[in-house]
């Protein structure tokens, strides 16, 4: 890791919110097989940016290229206006926190956190002071300073790794699924703490997760990666409300997706609901696509006049979610899930009419 001065040389004055990192037509192939396909992305200074995508979609490959552990096959990575594609990791203002921590097992918590400062030649008293500050920042008790890291719990070790990354004082922190090996309850706590740490530190965070829920909770902006293609970039709200494909929509929580096609006589139809006109508003320009209906847009109606689109369903199953129930219904062969107050779909003896309004569904090309 470079010292403070060289880092500042590398990153000229950039205002918070302006582009810090620019990925320009980045492609990466392994043995001729393309893994990252023409990724264009601007990451802004001080933002919490999350890359999300299924396993194998290329998230780690992108992060490694940002850290300098790998290079694009073609394309460029630009930092503050200068190409850094050819710079080795120690000449970049980045530091990576891995899913499987690379802590020194024979060292104490304090020695692990001090390590980056020791290799920079920072005097002992300053190192110890800063390490204690960092421990406080990640909520590790002071008495852990002399504890062997291998005697700490998984969550504590994760905090040590984060504190150590901060000890490098990088401009950009890269996190590769740092919480995926941690149990659900502690993960929630650490998610909140990381978000707080981002806010307090004023650093740029680039975070990777395969959990969309995690991405939505923590990030300023999210990029959805699918087989090496960046499908969509936006705020969590934009991605939820305006997914640009059914892949993005289905990745973001429960959703119902139907293929739809324009009818010669006007309106749309779906093979999932034969003979029924499906109203979509505003009318799409395309003759074919998919319709996304979020569970919260669906309601149980008594009469077909109560919604623009109404389908006849049978209740198949229900699961209590505490204050609400999740219902599984079928209409023909199509399965539909939705969350409603207990009892909203009756007892399963009679048909359920399920409706949604034309403007509440999202039309996408594919």
List of residues contacting ligand ADP (CB under 6 A): 30, 35, 53, 55-61
Q: How far apart are CA 58 and CA 61, in angstroms?
A: 5
Q: How far apart are CA 356 and CA 359, in angstroms?
A: 9
The CB-of-59 to Mg ion minimum distance in angstroms stands at 5
Nearer to ligand ADP, 171 or 176 (CB): 176
**Contact indicator for 214, 191 with CB cutoff of 8 Å:** yes
Q: How far apart are CA 273 and CA 305, in angstroms?
A: 18
Nearer to ligand ADP, 30 or 129 (CB): 30
The CB-of-215 to ligand ADP minimum distance in angstroms stands at 13
The CB-of-351 to ligand ADP minimum distance in angstroms stands at 44
Q: What is the DSSP letter of 142?
A: G
| DSSP per-residue string spanning 7-52 | HHHHS----TTSEEEEEEEEEEEETTEEEEEEEEEEEETT-EEEEE
**Contact indicator for 336, 313 with CB cutoff of 8 Å:** yes
The CB-of-65 to ligand ADP minimum distance in angstroms stands at 10
Q: Report CA 318 to chain centroid distance, whole Å.
A: 29
The CB-of-366 to ligand ADP minimum distance in angstroms stands at 21
Residue 55 interacting entry, from ligand ADP, Mg ion, none, C-beta within 5 to 8 Å by type = ligand ADP
Residue 58 interacting entry, from Mg ion, ligand ADP, none, C-beta within 5 to 8 Å by type = ligand ADP
How many residues touch Mg ion under the rule CB under 5 A: the total is 1
Which positions from 43 through 72 interact with Mg ion, judged by CB under 5 A? 60
State how beta strands 74-79 and 204-209 pair: unpaired
Residue 35 interacting entry, from ligand ADP, Mg ion, none, C-beta within 5 to 8 Å by type = ligand ADP
The CB-of-223 to ligand ADP minimum distance in angstroms stands at 12
Nearer to ligand ADP, 50 or 60 (CB): 60
Nearer to ligand ADP, 31 or 303 (CB): 31
- For residue 111, the SS3 value is helix
Q: What is the DSSP letter of 284?
A: P
Nearer to Mg ion, 60 or 112 (CB): 60
Nearer to Mg ion, 180 or 325 (CB): 180
The CB-of-217 to Mg ion minimum distance in angstroms stands at 20
Q: How far apart are CA 14 and CA 329, in angstroms?
A: 53
Nearer to ligand ADP, 52 or 135 (CB): 52
Residue 123 interacting entry, from ligand ADP, Mg ion, none, C-beta within 5 to 8 Å by type = none
Residue 256 interacting entry, from Mg ion, ligand ADP, none, C-beta within 5 to 8 Å by type = none
Q: How far apart are CA 132 and CA 126, in angstroms?
A: 10
Closest by CA to 226, choosing from 28, 21, 37, is 37
Beta strand ranges found along 101-244 (DSSP E): 172-176, 204-209, 221-226, 229-234
Residues lying near Mg ion in the complex (CB under 5 A): 60
């Amino acid at each position: 890791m470079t010292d403070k001065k060289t880092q500042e040389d590398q990153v000229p004055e950039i205002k918070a919110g302006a582009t810090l990192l620019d990925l320009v037509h980045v492609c990466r192939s392994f043995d001729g097989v393309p893994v990252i396909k023409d990724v264009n992305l601007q990451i802004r200074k001080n933002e919490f940016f999350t890359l999300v995508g299924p396993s194998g979609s290329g998230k780690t490959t992108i992060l490694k290229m940002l850290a300098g552990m790998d290079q694009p096959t073609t394309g460029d990575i630009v930092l503050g206006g200068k190409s850094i594609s050819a710079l080795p990791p120690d000449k970049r203002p980045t530091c990576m926190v891995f899913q499987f921590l690379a802590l020194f097992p024979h060292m104490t918590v304090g020695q692990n956190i001090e390590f980056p400062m020791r290799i920079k030649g920072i005097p002992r008293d300053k190192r110890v002071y800063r390490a204690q500050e960092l421990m406080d920042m990640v909520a590790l008790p002071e008495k852990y300073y002399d504890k062997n890291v291998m005697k700490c719990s998984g969550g504590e070790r994760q905090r040590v790794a984060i504190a150590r990354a901060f000890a490098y004082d990088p401009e950009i922190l890269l996190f590769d699924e740092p919480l995926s090996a941690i149990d659900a309850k502690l993960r929630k706590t650490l998610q909140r703490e990381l978000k707080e740490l981002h806010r307090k530190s004023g650093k740029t965070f680039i975070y990777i997760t395969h959990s969309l829920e995690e991405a939505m909770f923590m990030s300023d902006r999210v990029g959805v990666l699918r087989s090496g293609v960046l499908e969509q970039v936006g705020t969590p709200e934009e991605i939820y409300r305006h997914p640009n494909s059914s892949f993005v929509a289905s990745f973001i929580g429960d959703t119902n997706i139907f293929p739809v096609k324009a009818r010669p006589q006007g309106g749309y139809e779906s093979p999932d609901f034969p003979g029924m006109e499906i109203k979509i508003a505003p009318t799409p320009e395309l003759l074919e696509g998919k319709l996304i209906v979020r569970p919260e847009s669906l309601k149980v109606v008594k009469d077909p006049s109560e919604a623009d689109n109404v389908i006849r369903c049978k209740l198949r199953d229900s699961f209590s979610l505490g204050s609400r129930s999740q219902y599984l219904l079928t209409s023909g062969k199509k399965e539909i899930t939705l969350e409603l107050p207990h009892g909203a779909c009756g007892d399963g003896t009679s048909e359920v009419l399920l409706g949604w309004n034309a403007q509440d569904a999202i039309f996408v090309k594919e």
